[in-house]
């Protein structure tokens, strides 16, 4: 089966043909344009999926927007039999979705219809869900609303970070994709419509979502920090400026005003919450590197009794 692969710039992939296995030929990759990086924004950085494709002599398309007659003609020339989308970042037109003979399928990192949208992994951790997974679904024009072809489930450990869960789900998604493609090729894929009454949404992460509210309970605060670890990083404001926080877990400690630093030692920094406290393993003060709280305290960035807001 001839596969057209659509991938986000952040989606790191193994060799594409090895990912899909025998019987599937990746005829092209669609990804976003190279990103300007550096202080002068004069250096262009290619998405990882582009680099992987070029190493295998796979054609790469990088439209600013995936639409227009010229772009449609480019896709049609590749003669894909199915498109596979992995968090591409743009809504596709019906024409693009329906162009391959077998249509377009999408890999989504949640158990749909729960957590539709741009940030389902972060939302699953932040909301304290005990379980999540991957859904392979048929893509339709509406956001993450197509029928499910295959779902795989996994529990979320209490101390798992966004980065750790993202890696696990990527591995699960690759295996689920292979199985779903095989079912489609054999004509054995059973598509199940989503229950719209159970749909929830996980919007794109913005800065306001990543600021820690110390008046919340310790469990909530710890989940917020883990939901954005390692990026973009949940943050608080100290007297010395913004600081990102990592490696959070609830802690048994004496009470204090929310945001008050109760102790700092080699194990981390304990901060009071509205109910209980959290222990922070690492911090990243603005303009500095990521360090242990003890090192930050030695540099006079924070001290016991001071408050984060």
Segments in the chain below pLDDT 50 = 12
Residue spans of the domains in the chain: they are 2-198, 207-298
Per cent of the chain over pLDDT 70 is 96
For strands 43-45 and 104-108, give the pairing: unpaired
pLDDT at 15: 66
Q: How far apart are CA 298 and CA 194, in angstroms?
A: 54
Q: Hey, CA dihedral for 212, 213, 219, 223, is it positive or negative?
A: negative
Tell me the CA distances in angstroms from 266 to 83, 263, 275, one per residue in order.
50, 10, 24
Please tell me the CATH code under which domain 2-198 is placed.
3.40.50.170
Q: How far apart are CA 91 and CA 88, in angstroms?
A: 8
pLDDT at 13: 60
Do 2-198 and 207-298 share a fold? no
Residue whose C-alpha is closest to residue 162's, from 10, 51, 34: 10
123-162 pLDDT, tens per residue? 999 999 999 999 999 999 899 999 999 999 999 999 999 9
The alpha carbon of residue 209 and the mean position of all alpha carbons in its chain are separated, in whole angstroms, by: 15
CATH topology of domain 207-298: 3.10.25
49 within 8 A of 33, measured Cβ to Cβ: no
For strands 25-30 and 2-7, give the pairing: parallel
Q: What is the widest separation between alpha-carbon atoms in the chain? A: 67
Which residue spans within the chain are E strands per DSSP?
A: 2-7, 25-30, 35-37, 43-45, 60-61, 82-86, 104-108, 131-138, 148-155, 234-238, 241-251, 261-265, 268-272, 277-285
What is the reported pTM? 0.92
pLDDT at 11: 52
222 within 8 A of 278, measured Cβ to Cβ: yes
Question: Prior bond to 230 cis, omega within 30?
Answer: yes
226 within 8 A of 157, measured Cβ to Cβ: no
């Amino acid at each position: 089966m001839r596969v057209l692969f659509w991938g986000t710039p952040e989606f790191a992939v193994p060799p594409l043909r090895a990912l899909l296995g025998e019987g599937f030929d990746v005829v092209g990759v669609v990804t976003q344009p190279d990103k300007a990086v550096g202080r002068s924004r004069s250096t262009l950085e290619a998405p990882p999926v582009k680099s992987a494709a070029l190493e295998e002599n796979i054609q790469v398309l990088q439209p600013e927007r995936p639409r227009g007659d010229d772009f449609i003609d480019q896709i049609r020339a590749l003669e894909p039999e199915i498109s596979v989308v992995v968090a591409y970042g743009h809504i596709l037109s019906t024409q693009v979705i329906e162009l391959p003979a077998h249509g377009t399928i999408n890999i989504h990192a949640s158990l749909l219809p729960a957590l539709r949208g741009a940030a389902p992994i972060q939302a699953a951790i932040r909301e304290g869900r005990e379980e999540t997974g991957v859904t392979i679904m048929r893509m339709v024009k509406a956001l993450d609303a197509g029928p499910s072809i295959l779902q795989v489930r996994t529990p979320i450990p209490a101390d798992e970070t966004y980065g750790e869960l993202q890696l696990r789900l990527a591995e699960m998604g690759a295996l689920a994709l292979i199985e779903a493609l095989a079912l489609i090729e054999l004509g054995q894929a059973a598509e199940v419509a989503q229950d719209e009454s159970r749909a929830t949404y996980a919007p794109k992460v913005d800065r306001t979502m990543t600021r820690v509210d110390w008046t919340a309970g310790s469990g909530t605060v710890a989940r917020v920090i883990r939901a954005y670890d390692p990026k973009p990083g949940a943050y608080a404001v100290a007297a010395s400026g913004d600081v990102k926080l990592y490696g959070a877990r609830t802690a048994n400690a004496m009470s204090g005003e929310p945001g008050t630093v109760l102790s700092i030692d080699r194990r981390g920094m304990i901060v009071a919450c509205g109910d209980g406290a959290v222990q922070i393993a690492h911090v990243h003060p603005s303009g500095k590197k990521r360090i242990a709280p003890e090192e930050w305290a030695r540099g006079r960035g924070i001290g016991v009794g001071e408050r984060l807001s």
